Amino acid sequence: MTFFLIAGEPSGDRLGAALMAGLKSLAPDLRFQGVGGPLMQAQGLTSLFPMEELSVMGIAEVLPKYLHLKRRIRETAAAVRDASPDALITIDSPDFCLRVAGLVKAAQPGLKTIHYVAPSVWAWRPGRAAKMARVIDHVLALLPFEPPYMTAAGMSCDFVGHPVVAEPLATPDERAMMAGPGPLILALPGSRRGEVTRLAPVLGQVMDQIKAAHPTARVALPTVRGVAGLVAELTQDWAISPQIIHDPTEKRAAFAAADVAIAASGTVSLELAANDCPMVIAYDMHPLTLWLMRRAALIDTVTLVNLVSDTRAVPEFIGERCRADLIAPQLLALLQQGPGAQAQAMRLTMQRLGKGGEAPGLRAARSVLAHL
């Protein structure tokens, strides 16, 4: 049995790797082709091209790379057709993945297409579900409230749980690796170049105020290979020199040991919740992208912990409010007062995402094989 998988982000690479591990445990003699990162490659996938080429978000950010991405879409669709897989499994990155699926479906209408991570139609652009149903047969949803949106559009859909609930937490010995004087602040400016470029200067200004209030404070900054050099360049003048982390064990230790975190919007808020780490969310983007998204928004928060727990416990600073003079007081308050309402919101989020049940990667694999 052959599967062609496509992931375009580090978060998608983690999903794909867990799914591949689940499939291998349930079915023998599998072959994997497609596009993925180091985790999927470790499970046996040879990537058609570096996954980092697809890690672009936002209309204004995509435009300079439009022609290159169009070429990659055509190349990937041709590779799917040549592989004649039993199923095409696209993982998040809908702007790229669904275009590939459209070309493949036009050429091979009978090929099963499965999309992992339901589009956030509950947040903005609800018409995307109906459009996706033209090229996708089955959806693997990470959030428990998403399947009705997908089935209403004509696709089958299973809630398979979020992988964050199955990711290993740091051991006491690993956590001790991060011990030191003063509070530990986790800085998470994102995994895309555009995110890091916009957020790193703001986070640096926040560190000025943290340093003034807590002279012994330390900063840990886990990052990914695609932006590691940029992160090092943009943080070299911070008042608190960050410990830049690449190793997964050190990252796990930092998440467990951190007193507070300041993070870009996205899946990272769930990783922090899994580690009971109180957080402040900050995010900025090109003004045109921000204006378009706000016009289409159906929700009043972008933080997944707030959405899943149905609270607004996590403070967020988006767009023009992504300013150090607004963010730093919230971060300092968390350091002084503790997580407060965030503690219950984080516990509820983990429970609703499937903590304590079967591993999401295995649940997703069962759903894929049942659909086929």
Residues 6+ apart with CB under 8 A from 316: 265, 280, 281, 282, 283, 301, 302, 303, 306
The single-letter code of the amino acid at 85 is P
**The pLDDT value given to residue 64:** 62
In this prediction, what percent of the chain has a pLDDT beyond 70? 97
Residues 6+ apart with CB under 8 A from 241: 219, 235
In this prediction, what percent of the chain has a pLDDT beyond 90? 81
Name the H helices within the chain. 10-26, 38-42, 59-62, 66-83, 94-107, 128-132, 147-152, 172-176, 193-213, 228-234, 248-257, 268-274, 287-296, 304-309, 324-337, 341-352, 360-371
Residue 61 has pLDDT above 60, yes or no: no
Q: Give the separation between CA 129 and CA 266, rounded to whole angstroms.
A: 20
3-state helix, strand, coil in the chain (%, to 5): 50, 15, 35
CATH numbers and ranges of domains, the chain: 2-161+357-371 (3.40.50.2000), 172-352 (3.40.50.2000)
Largest separation between any pair of C-alpha atoms in the chain:
63
**The pLDDT value given to residue 316:** 96
**Average pLDDT over every residue of 88-96:** 94
**The pLDDT value given to residue 191:** 86
Least confident of 11-15, 33-37, 61-65, 343-347: 61-65
Q: Are 222 and 188 in contact (CB under 8 A)?
A: yes
C-alpha dihedral, 304 to 307 to 313 to 316, nearest 10°: 50
Residue 57 has pLDDT above 60, yes or no: no
How many CB atoms are closer than 10 A to CB 166? Answer: 19
Residue 91 has pLDDT above 70, yes or no: yes
pLDDT band at residue 62 under the 50/70/90 scheme:
low
**The pLDDT value given to residue 249:** 94
Q: What residue has token string 């018409």?
A: 127
Residue 60 has pLDDT above 90, yes or no: no
Task: Please give the structure tokens belonging to residue 283.
Answer: 């995010």
pLDDT band at residue 286 under the 50/70/90 scheme:
confident
Q: What residue has token string 């992988």?
A: 163
Cα-Cα end-to-end distance for the chain: 11
**Average pLDDT over every residue of 257-274:** 94
**The pLDDT value given to residue 56:** 59
Going 104 to 106 to 109 to 113, the CA torsion angle's sign is positive
**The pLDDT value given to residue 63:** 61
How many CB atoms are closer than 10 A to CB 153? Answer: 21
**Average pLDDT over every residue of 186-192:** 93
Task: Please give the structure tokens belonging to residue 217.
Answer: 């404070």
**The pLDDT value given to residue 120:** 87
The model's pLDDT over 328-351, given as tens digits with 9 standing for 90+, comes to: 999 999 999 999 999 999 999 999
Residue 175 has pLDDT above 90, yes or no: yes
DSSP state for residue 297 in the 8-state scheme:
B
